[in-house]
Structure 1
Amino acid sequence: MEEQRLKELIKKYLSGTATKAEKEDLLKWYQVKDGEELVLPYESEQEEKEAKERIIFGIRQQLFKQENKGRYRKIYYRITAAAAIILVILVGAFFHKAKNQTADQQLNAYNTVETHNGERKIVKLTDGSVIWLSAGSKLIYPAAFTGLAKREVKFEGEAFFDIAKDHKHPFIVHIGKTSTKVLGTTFNITALKSKPMMTVSLLTGKVAFSDGKSAAQLMPNHMVSYFKNSGITKVEKIDNPKAVLARREGFYEYNNIPVAEVLEDFNRVYNADVKAEGRVSKCLFYGRLKPTESKETFLKKLATVVNARLTQHNGTFIIKGGGCN
């Protein structure tokens, strides 16, 4: 910047007549020393003191080479004050920028939690919501909800959600092209990639389910079944709400469910590889899968109920036969 232009800017700044654009030009000049940009904020008082001295020295040497030393003394303190003010503005601008960058980083920062087969996790969000992840699930959520209009997460697998109430910031669970919107409620979602159907089972509160084309409103103790390929949505009453709540602890209730579906859950929950051979895979099972019982105990129970045989070959359990029609 030319000396005359710089002199005009500093005079306007000291007199309070500088425009916003002129102040910005002045500050840009002070941010550069010997062609290198100053790094703010300063790491020590000594570094800050030296910065002030450099600013004052720049004013003295470049702008106010006065033959009248008496006049120089009169404006010296004004120069010193102006230098300190400029430094404060520079540091303040830096912190403001850094604060905004930090906020932006938080808004753009996401956490990912995954559970492998045979694993369960509890995730506590910053808004007070709690999510129980079942085995083989994945949750992606913001590191913080501060400054966000909506509390949005992405999910796949199975989980029980206990969402904190916040009427100004709805909670939305995105699964593929579907969304489940709530304000404060408890519900279970089963949305496994391997299954053609996903379900949302509501215990308390209200839920709005949508796939972008059709929508369904759920009341407590109701569930929506969504068929991924056809887009068909079906709403029905939950026969046993307690069984839905128990799933978050790993208890699975089966009421005439095909053995193939039961084993799919079993293999995921126990990280196992149990196979069903023959017509037994279509036999209907009535019973309970408990996290406290061993794999062998449950499989023997399953085989007994469907009148099948449990065998083991090279470490793999196989269920054969079956007396069902």
Structure 2
Amino acid sequence: MEDKIWNCIIKRLTGSETEASEQALNSWMEEDASHAQQYREACSLWSLTGEVRHIQSDTRVLELIKDRKAPASEKVAGIRAIWKYGIAASLIVLFSVAAIFQYRNGNFKQDQVKEWVVKKAGPGKMILVEMPDGSKIWLNADSEIRFLKSFSQEKTRSVILNGEAYFDVSHDAAHPFVVKSAELTTTVYGTSFNVRAYSNEEETSVTVNSGKVGVTSGKEGGNARMLLPQDKLTYGDGKFTKTTVLAEADGWTRGDLVFDQTPLDEVFETISRKYNVKIAEAKTLRYQDCRLTARFRNQSLVAVLKTLKLAMNINSKQTGTTIYLEGGAVCSSNTK
């Protein structure tokens, strides 16, 4: 295990974690399932330190480390010095765990910790990210992507998405472009498509504009579901639903709001993110089972709220950055 990652683990276990160490450790664990397993093992061994009592010399620990090569011997000397000054026995266990992990990962092989690049669009904002390989990513409001600084040198061009993004991917058959979002993994070679995966929404969707993509679920695994232009795949509650859409998947990148049989809860979330406002729904608001089909071409918030009034009988009042809603039509499950 790299020294930098081990330091991040120690910071988390000892309650001294920083924002930078938290991000580095989380990224490392997401990178490979074996990394997450190593972290869990470290946590288990750390919990054992609470059982260490009145130890003058833990010969088992020292012998374990003595069996390792030079870097381990340096840690032995450090441990003896620390013990001489009365530091808690739990630190001995910590250094022992470090030695075990380093030995298991290839005789203290020091690999450089991979650096991550983070791009984020705040509420009410949209940004364009130009990738090192020439691909372009439009990030919707309140969305974030992460990718390795060595993105172009990796076998797969991978990004991790939280939120919504539209991708225009440069063709490279030897290096597939992979988008990890919630429980879905989308793999392409050169195409344009949209992924929506907000953490506060129950469903994740992938919509293709051009080319062909394959989508898999982390829970299901197995063969990828292939999507062609105008295909939309929605994943929620452990199930996939495939539909055909006529609207362009990248409409929102031009300022449009596009809803196609969209539940009103999701409509309100989209409005909140786009216009950077808070939606306060009254208890008397009646819209259960209602869905909205509408397109707003770069319209103002006032125009959108007027349409909701006409279409759904939803009244609205704005105070500062908060929109208060009440009323609404009553929709049945048969008349969505």
Indicate the residue corresponding to 2:230 in structure 1: 221
Indicate the residue corresponding to 2:305 in structure 1: 299
The aligned runs of 1:241-320 (5 Å cut-off) are 241-242=247-248, 244-277=249-282, 278-282=284-288, 283-291=290-298, 293-312=299-318, 316-320=322-326
CA drift of 1:204 comes to 1.2
**In structure 1, C-alpha distance between the alignment counterparts of 2:273 and 2:324, rounded to whole Å:** 16
The aligned runs of 1:104-119 (5 Å cut-off) are 108-119=114-125
Of residues 155, 163, 167 in structure 1, which corresponds to 2:173?
A: 167
The aligned runs of 1:11-160 (5 Å cut-off) are 108-160=114-166
| Contact kept? 1:267, 1:274, Cα under 8 Å | yes
Q: Are 1:193 and 2:202 matched, yes or no?
A: no
**In structure 2, C-alpha distance between the alignment counterparts of 1:200 and 1:139, rounded to whole Å:** 16
CA drift of 1:318 comes to 1.6
**In structure 2, C-alpha distance between the alignment counterparts of 1:151 and 1:315, rounded to whole Å:** 39
Q: Percent identity?
A: 29
CA drift of 1:249 comes to 2.2
Higher CA-based Rg:
1
Indicate the residue corresponding to 2:59 in structure 1: none
**In structure 2, C-alpha distance between the alignment counterparts of 1:237 and 1:288, rounded to whole Å:** 17
**In structure 1, C-alpha distance between the alignment counterparts of 2:259 and 2:169, rounded to whole Å:** 26
* 1:257 partner amino acid: T
Of residues 227, 237, 243 in structure 1, which corresponds to 2:244?
A: 237
**In structure 2, C-alpha distance between the alignment counterparts of 1:200 and 1:298, rounded to whole Å:** 25
CA drift of 1:315 comes to 5.6
Of residues 315, 321, 324 in structure 1, which corresponds to 2:327?
A: 321
Q: Deviations over 1:40-84 (max 9, x none)?
A: xxxxxxxxxxxxxxxxxxxxxxxxxxxxxxxxxxxxxxxxxxxxx
CA drift of 1:112 comes to 0.2
Residues 303 and 206 (structure 1 numbering): CA distance in 2 closer, same or farther, change over 3 Å? same
Residues 302 and 189 (structure 1 numbering): CA distance in 2 closer, same or farther, change over 3 Å? same
CA RMSD of aligned residues (A): 2.3
Q: Are 1:206 and 2:215 matched, yes or no?
A: no
| Contact kept? 1:126, 1:144, Cα under 8 Å | no
| Contact kept? 2:287, 2:330, Cα under 8 Å | no
* 2:291 partner amino acid: L
* 2:233 partner amino acid: V
**In structure 1, C-alpha distance between the alignment counterparts of 2:261 and 2:235, rounded to whole Å:** 20
Q: Secondary structure at the match of 1:108?
A: coil
CA drift of 1:127 comes to 0.4
| Contact kept? 2:182, 2:197, Cα under 8 Å | no
| Contact kept? 2:285, 2:325, Cα under 8 Å | no
* 2:205 partner amino acid: T
Taking structure 1 as the reference length, what is the TM-score of the superposition? 0.61
**In structure 2, C-alpha distance between the alignment counterparts of 1:137 and 1:221, rounded to whole Å:** 23
| Contact kept? 1:114, 1:138, Cα under 8 Å | yes
Residues 256 and 153 (structure 1 numbering): CA distance in 2 closer, same or farther, change over 3 Å? closer
* 1:237 partner amino acid: T
CA drift of 1:172 comes to 0.5
**In structure 1, C-alpha distance between the alignment counterparts of 2:147 and 2:261, rounded to whole Å:** 36
